[in-house]
Amino acid sequence: MVRFTQVGLRYPDPTRGGAGERETLRDLSFTLPQGSFTWLTGPSGAGKTSLLRLMQLALRPTRGEVEVLGVPLSRAKRADLPKLRRRIGAVFQEFRLLPYLTAFDNVALPLRLAGRAEASLRPDVTEMLRWVGLEGREGALPQQLSGGEQQRVAIARAVVTRPALLVADEPTGNLDSTQARRLILLLAEMNRLGATVVVATHSQELIAQHPGYVMQVEAGRIVALDPWPYATEEALPEPHPPGGAPVATLPQSFALDLSAPEPEAGWLEEPEDGSEPWSSGEDEGEGDLAPPARPRGTQRMGRGIWPSAQDRGSGAGGHG
């Protein structure tokens, strides 16, 4: 499902003519089976975010092979990438909500871009916002929401598409303990319904709340994997703590459609959901956070749903 083979990542260093001094990630080799739940842990600066960005296909490794959802990236066409990325949900510390869209419309955006009919997307968006505790705030703009509330909108947006792979970077960072617990239940539910989930966290308390693999990274290397090795598709941890299913469950409509075809050729040139475009690490400069273009097929609303360069510069992604 997610397979790294001898992966290294070196960020470009403009002061050194583009070549970074050292590898940020080194010799990463592991397999995360489909349907697994993995906690990614390690000290600040260890490389957790970088690793998640590789899984999210926002970065290309400098060396080695990254295989995500059955596609080895070295053999994938660049044009195929966005289609693959649409099957990956991502929650990062900067939320990248579109400032001119309400909470509802931010969450609905990836479904609209995927061509979902209005009538069918409404229940899913409403259900997701309810799950993250934002019932009644559907009409609020990001600037009218607290950092934690914006984070929850971003989480709902990442999950509403029923991604096959869900990566989250410190997703409880701005949440109180009740909301954090609820978020873990949501991730566990998505996992139970078929998604492979990877969550970076510093919190041992969080890790104790839900069983899963634990991958520990230090100075760009994996120093511990529990269980070790990750090589087989068997022996997945129980998806739920003793006592059975979580207290609340999502409708079956959120189950992963395992019959969905693997992406074929014909990737898009640009991201459609406000996430970052593909960045190539060394050969195309940093590129990681290049501003997204307005997606094809989206309507302009007010000053336009896609922020202007000026707007982006003034914190379009929220304040959390």
**Residue ranges that bind ligand ATP, judged by CB under 6 A:** 11, 24, 42, 44-50, 286, 288
Q: What's the closest the beta carbon of residue 286 comes to ligand ATP, in angstroms?
A: 6
Residue 108 burial (CB count, 10 A): 25
Q: What angle do CA 187, 191, 197 make, to 5 degrees?
A: 70
Q: Which is nearer to ligand ATP, 20 or 304 (CB)?
A: 20
Task: Please name the helix (run of DSSP H) or strand (run of DSSP E) that holds residue 183, with its range, or none.
Answer: helix 177-192
- In the complex, the smallest distance separating the C-beta of residue 266 from ligand ATP, rounded to whole angstroms, is 29
Query: Which CA distances in Å does 235 have to 133, 184, 212?
Result: 34, 22, 11
Instruction: Kindly tell me which of 66 and 121 has the beta carbon lying closer to ligand ATP.
Output: 66
Cα–Cα distance, 201 to 205 (Å, whole number) = 10
Which CB sits closer to ligand ATP, 170 or 189? 170
> Residue 236 has what DSSP assignment?
P
Give, rounded to a whole angstrom, the gap between the first and last alpha carbons of the chain. Answer: 31
Distance from C-alpha of 212 to C-alpha of 39, rounded to nearest angstrom: 7
CB of 40 to ligand ATP, least distance (A): 9
Residue whose structure tokens are 């959802």: 69
Nearer to ligand ATP, 92 or 100 (CB): 92
Task: Quote the least distance from Cβ 193 to ligand ATP, whole Å.
Answer: 27
User: Please, which residue, 45 or 70, has the CB nearer to ligand ATP?
Assistant: 45
CB of 219 to ligand ATP, least distance (A): 9
